[in-house]
Amino acid sequence: MSHTRFDALLVVSFGGPERREDVIPFLENVLRGRNVPRERMLAVAEHYYHFDGKSPINEQNRELIRELTANLTGNGIELPVYWGNRNWHPLIAETLQKMHADGVRHAAVFVTSAYGSYSGCRQYREDVARALEASGITDMVVEKLPHFCLSDAYTVVMAERVRSGYEEVTTTAPLVFTAHSIPIAMAESSPYVQHLEQSCRNVAEAVGCTDWSLAYQSRSGPPTQPWLEPDILERLRELHEAGAKEVVVCPIGFCSDHMEVLYDLDTEAAALCKELQMKMVRTGTAGSHPVFIDMIRRQILEGSTTPILEHCSAGCCPAPQRTSSATAPSRRST
């Protein structure tokens, strides 16, 4: 029987609605404390209603936990796996209270966000710390597992997804990686872009592709606020104008097929490609790939964690300076 220094693993994610009735309460949670017009919230709600109000993220987290639990057990590791979300049930505070009642006093945290940024890393740390404080828990040590976007395992998984995508097109089709756009001010205070560019480069080299680029999707906020570009739709139009008849799109910035992937790629980008008469193949995400699951187990055993309120590395992911302009909700990992 293998042992770790942890009593449990907490999987932390964004959360998402599971039925139409959940959509507005969920978005109100996302927007709490932010001065966003209700009209903008209702516009985002329509994306969820397009799928009858159900985001895939919760079920995909359940699958991740099932596979991870089986992997741990199969390798002789007795470690309970818990799950808590930032914006929808099960909420982080609820889960931490259950963990504490179960006797957990030293937990590792795996966040379903691969890249360094405030909203994808630092904010999750703050969420857990705030939930501990709100729950009155003072005798539980919580440590976060490291970023994995540049790991060999993540490269192997995403390279396999891209190779599968190329089975449906010619080898000369351009490859476009996508990730969630964020405000430039936030990007400049984090390793987000550097992480993404290196991760894309690693995967492209692994599959032998030289015609690749990185585009962004799912931006929100007023047009006057600069966000990372180019947008995926803009990039697809550029490829069409350059004569491309096929394209492979890899949502490398997402761990699983979240709402952004279903709506912004499988719906909007697919519709544009159909209009342009350009074949689009969207690759899979890491999901519950066995190599991805095994990577998490190895991270737990290696124990290269950091206390929940520390930075992953010096200067990583400070809180951004927010503008006073109202912004629409980001649908990151929903």
Confidence of residue 326 (pLDDT cuts 50, 70, 90): very low
In the predicted structure, residue 320 carries a pLDDT above the cut 70: no
Which pLDDT value is given to residue 292?
98
Confidence of residue 319 (pLDDT cuts 50, 70, 90): low
Which pLDDT value is given to residue 283?
98
CB 18 within 8 A of CB 311: no
Higher-pLDDT residue of 333, 149 = 149
Task: Read off the DSSP letter of residue 211.
Answer: S
Which pLDDT value is given to residue 1?
55
Angstrom distance (rounded) from CA 216 to CA 271: 17
Rounded mean pLDDT of 102-129? 94
Rounded mean pLDDT of 278-293? 98
Confidence of residue 329 (pLDDT cuts 50, 70, 90): very low
To the nearest whole number, what is the mean pLDDT of the chain? Answer: 92
In the predicted structure, residue 328 carries a pLDDT above the cut 50: no
Which pLDDT value is given to residue 44?
87
pTM: 0.92
Confidence of residue 315 (pLDDT cuts 50, 70, 90): low
Cα dist. 40→98, 161, 315, 333 in Å?
Answer: 35, 35, 34, 19
Which pLDDT value is given to residue 134?
95
SS3 of residue 306 by DSSP = strand
Rounded mean pLDDT of 31-51? 86
Query: What proportion of the chain, given as a percentage, has pLDDT over 90?
Result: 78
Which pLDDT value is given to residue 300?
96
User: In a 10 Å sphere around its CB, with 0-12 CB exposed, 13-18 middle and 19+ buried, how is residue 304 labelled?
Assistant: exposed
Which pLDDT value is given to residue 37?
83
Angstrom distance (rounded) from CA 66 to CA 63: 5
Confidence of residue 310 (pLDDT cuts 50, 70, 90): confident
Confidence of residue 314 (pLDDT cuts 50, 70, 90): low
Higher-pLDDT residue of 166, 117 = 166
Rounded mean pLDDT of 311-320? 68
